[in-house]
Amino acid sequence: MKILHLFSSKVFAGLERHVEELSFEQSKSHEITVIGPERFKNKFRANYTSVNTNQWRYSPILWLELRDAMVRINPEIVHTHGQKMTNFIKADLHFSTIHGTKKNVAAFKKTQFIFGASNKSLEQIPPEKSMVLENWVDESRFNNYKQKDPEYFLYIGRFEPVKNPERLIRAWKSEYGKLLMVGSGQLEKDLIVLIKQLGLDNIIELHSETDDVGSLLSKAHALIISSDREGSPKVLYESLYCKVPVLSTDCGNIAEILPNQSIAETNDQSFQHLLKKWAGKINELSLLQKKCFNEVGSKNLLSIQTKKVNEKYQEFLSMASR
């Protein structure tokens, strides 16, 4: 199959890693092209065409650049990721992915088929033209993974309001031990100020984002997710794959993956209670989530999930050729 993926983004985070890994796995047996911003070209292992997709959505220049690129590539399948590109692109066989939860899904409904990160992502989409595609682990990124003595609790994610890293900082107590927060985003300066105000300078460290998630997880007591909204967070699966337990707010598909005892309601008080309950009982938390470790290790692998996507493409190609 000749497949084209398109995305628009200013940061390389969950959605972007999703597209990178899916396109790379597909490139092993299909002709793949990815269109996205120049700044991310060196992040992708599949064939990549640089277009400034971050331009104004009504830009005639963007429209012309994308039209010319699509004529040149002439794909059989077009797969858009996120609302902007899905709304912008028109194609005969157009697939789309909702990576989080959206109030307005009109653009996605115009595509032939929609993949959703969770059941919540697809609440407004007819079931006959959609399917949940849980995130995955690219096993090749963890070939040399080895657990070490835990040194810290870990947050990996963008420093953006939707991820609510401030909730985590406000809930953190010095007796819990060291907290390492890895990411970047508009809230970074505010987080630094908040940490100083709370006198947690020696307890909480902010680090820049890195592609080497395995090295971070190898020394973590647990991963912590404090988000207000999520889709199917990639780092959740990577953490469970590495047998590092997870504490999280009830967002995205978290409740479909983790035991209820390790999930807080999406408010500060419930989240504080969750951390207080488990911060000193990580061995018990690991035992509670042992089934999660096993399920992710056997089901949520890149090769398995990519096969589901390819089969859906092929189904539509077969119908189109009749």
User: Tens of pLDDT along 163-187?
Assistant: 999 999 999 999 999 999 999 999 9
Direct distance between the N- and C-terminal alpha carbons of the chain, in angstroms, rounded to an integer: 17
Please state, in angstroms and as integers, the Cα–Cα distance from residue 1 to each residue in 27, 92, 94, 178, following that order: 10, 15, 14, 48
Q: Is the pLDDT of residue 246 over 90?
A: yes
Burial (Cβ within 10 Å: 0-12, 13-18, ≥19) of residue 112: middle
Half-sphere exposure at residue 20, Cβ-oriented, CA atoms within 13 angstroms = 19
pLDDT band at 232, cuts 50/70/90?
confident
Spatial distance between the Cα atoms of 181 and 265, rounded to a whole number of angstroms: 21
Give the pLDDT band (50/70/90) at residue 51.
very high
| 21 three-class SS | helix
What is the pLDDT at residue 279? 96
Q: Which two tokens stand for residue 309?
A: 């996507």
CATH H-level superfamily of 139-299: Glycogen Phosphorylase B; (3.40.50.2000)
Strand partners, 248: 225, 263
For the chain, which residues make up each domain, given as ranges?
2-136+301-320, 139-299
156: helix, coil or strand? Answer: strand
In 29-142, DSSP assigns E strands to 31-36, 48-50, 77-81, 94-98, 113-116, 130-132
Mean pLDDT of 84-108: 91
Across residues 67-88, what is the average pLDDT?
A: 95
Q: Give pLDDT tens digits for 204-221.
A: 999 998 889 999 999 999
pLDDT band at 13 (very low <50, low <70, confident <90, very high): confident
**Angstrom distance (rounded) from CA 231 to CA 247:** 16
pLDDT of residue 209: 84
Residue 186 pLDDT: 92
**In terms of pTM, does the model score above 0.85?**
yes
Q: What is the mean pLDDT of the chain?
A: 94
Say whether pLDDT at 93 is over 90: yes
| Per-residue CA distances from 133 to 114, 145, 163 (Å) | 10, 26, 21
The answer to whether residue 126 scores a pLDDT higher than 80 is: yes
Pick the CATH number of 2-136+301-320 from 1.10.260.40, 3.40.50.2000, 3.40.30.10, 3.30.300.30: 3.40.50.2000
Q: In this structure, are residues 30 and 46 in contact, taking their beta carbons and an 8 Å threshold?
A: no
Distances (CA, A) of 261 to 98, 163, 237, 284: 28, 21, 18, 11
Whether 2-136+301-320 shares its CATH topology with 139-299 is answered yes
pLDDT of residue 103: 82
Give residue 112's pLDDT.
96
Instruction: State the pLDDT at residue 206.
Output: 97
In this structure, the number of other CB atoms found within 10 A of the CB of residue 56 comes to 8
